[in-house]
Amino acid sequence: MKKLMTIFSALLITSVFSIFVVPNSHMVKADDNTPVITLGTSLTSSQRQGTIDTLTQSLDGTNYRTITITGADLVKYLNPSGADFTNNSGVWSSALIQKTASGSGINVHILPYNGHNNITTITANQYKNAALTAGITDANIYVTSASPIDGSGALAGVYAAYAQNGQSLNQNQINAAQDEMNTLSGITEQNKGKEGYSDAQLNNAIAGAKAEMAKQGNNISNNDIRNIVNNQININHLGDTITNNQKEEIINLLIKIKDSGALNNKNFAQQANKLTDQIQSGAKNIFSKFNTPETRNWFQQIIDTIVNWFKGLFGGVIIYN
């Protein structure tokens, strides 16, 4: 009996030790939805704490994990897309990734650090489109930087967070996503200050094109993609601002996205449509102008005239089938 009690005590001590000395928080599981903060390795201790304070404002005390992003992560995730980082490259931009309810879409917020927006080039909508291409779905992403930086490497931490959580993203899609940020930010920079152009219109056109591509699937032809791009440029009233060279860049980008395997995701179309809703909602002052008699095309105005004539003829009631 004494021997049995000794064995039981040993087992009990081992169990308690495993619970308190080796906490589960160090284990990363694929189904663990705990928010993850990615911190650039170049941050000073005060910048690191300031970054955590900035990124966790929206969490309201919710638990989170942190991982440090180094030059090696930039090499691993970004160099295959054409970047030239080294293991010694500095990393300042940081992010928070938080999974959300199914169907909620991708939301990106660029947060000021001590009152300064230090992400100088990439916009929130460009991050959203890139995240969609990379294979991210239903997530809140917050991005900030303690030092001024273009922001093109900020998603490297998000890619790393997914990998540590057992949900590694397709590298071909990551390559396409990085190419997308570079392409769209370049087009926006080239059209900066040009009347009739906005980054929201461009990103809405890209998201709309993705949704149309997803309907046709991987068998979609390059010529179909070209037609879709032309259609989206017209829908978003960019025909007078986007140059032929920029249009070719967009077409080539979307072909690369198709070839990356992004369209294989069954949720791709739904997430793309959700993205267009978000972009339009965030820029109502722009998109509300597109649905007026002055901006509708000639054919639509004829249809409106005919419909209004029949309304008058039949007392204002028309039933469509």
Going by C-alpha positions, the residue among 72, 67, 73 that lies closest to residue 87 is 72
321: confidence class by pLDDT, cuts 50, 70, 90: very low
Task: Indicate whether 93 and 155 sit together in one domain.
Answer: yes
pLDDT digits (tens, 9 = 90+) for 24-45: 333 333 346 899 999 999 999 9
pLDDT digits (tens, 9 = 90+) for 215-240: 999 999 999 999 999 999 999 999 99
Which residues lie closer than 8 Å to 307 by C-beta, 6 or more apart? 318
Residue 109 structure tokens: 């917020």
Residue 50 has pLDDT above 60, yes or no: yes
Residue 237 lies in a domain: yes
Stretch 198-224: mean pLDDT, rounded? 96
Q: Which of 137, 169, 201 is the last residue of a domain?
A: 169
- The count of other CB atoms within 10 Å of the CB of residue 60 is 6
Task: Indicate whether 213 and 147 sit together in one domain.
Answer: no
Residue 139 structure tokens: 């997530």
Task: Give the model's pLDDT for residue 289.
Answer: 81
Task: Give the model's pLDDT for residue 6.
Answer: 46
Task: Indicate whether 88 and 67 sit together in one domain.
Answer: yes
- Residue whose structure tokens are 């829908």: 235
Task: Give the model's pLDDT for residue 307.
Answer: 57
Task: Indicate whether 214 and 159 sit together in one domain.
Answer: no
Task: Indicate whether 150 and 237 sit together in one domain.
Answer: no
Task: Indicate whether 246 and 152 sit together in one domain.
Answer: no
Task: Indicate whether 165 and 177 sit together in one domain.
Answer: no
Q: Which of 132, 149, 169 is the last residue of a domain?
A: 169
pLDDT digits (tens, 9 = 90+) for 229-282: 999 999 999 999 999 999 999 999 999 999 999 999 999 999 999 999 999 999
Task: Indicate whether 279 and 191 sit together in one domain.
Answer: yes
- In our burial notation (b when 16+ CB lie closer than 10 A, e otherwise), range 164-197 reads ebeeebbebbbbbbbbbbbbbbebbeebeeeeeb
Segment among 66-70, 197-201, 300-304 with least mean pLDDT = 300-304
- How many domains is the chain built from? 2
Residue 272 lies in a domain: yes
Residue 193 lies in a domain: yes
313: confidence class by pLDDT, cuts 50, 70, 90: low
Residue 224 lies in a domain: yes
Task: Indicate whether 179 and 160 sit together in one domain.
Answer: no
Q: Which of 169, 198, 229 is the last residue of a domain?
A: 169
Residue 227 lies in a domain: yes
Could you give the CA distance from residue 273 to residue 214 in angstroms, rounded to a whole number?
Answer: 10
Stretch 180-207: mean pLDDT, rounded? 96
Residue 218 lies in a domain: yes
Task: Indicate whether 110 and 221 sit together in one domain.
Answer: no
Task: Indicate whether 141 and 110 sit together in one domain.
Answer: yes
316: confidence class by pLDDT, cuts 50, 70, 90: low
Burial of 95 (0-12, 13-18, 19+ CB in 10 A): buried
Residue 306 lies in a domain: no
Task: Indicate whether 255 and 160 sit together in one domain.
Answer: no
Residue 305 lies in a domain: no
Range of the domain at 82: 31-169
166: confidence class by pLDDT, cuts 50, 70, 90: confident
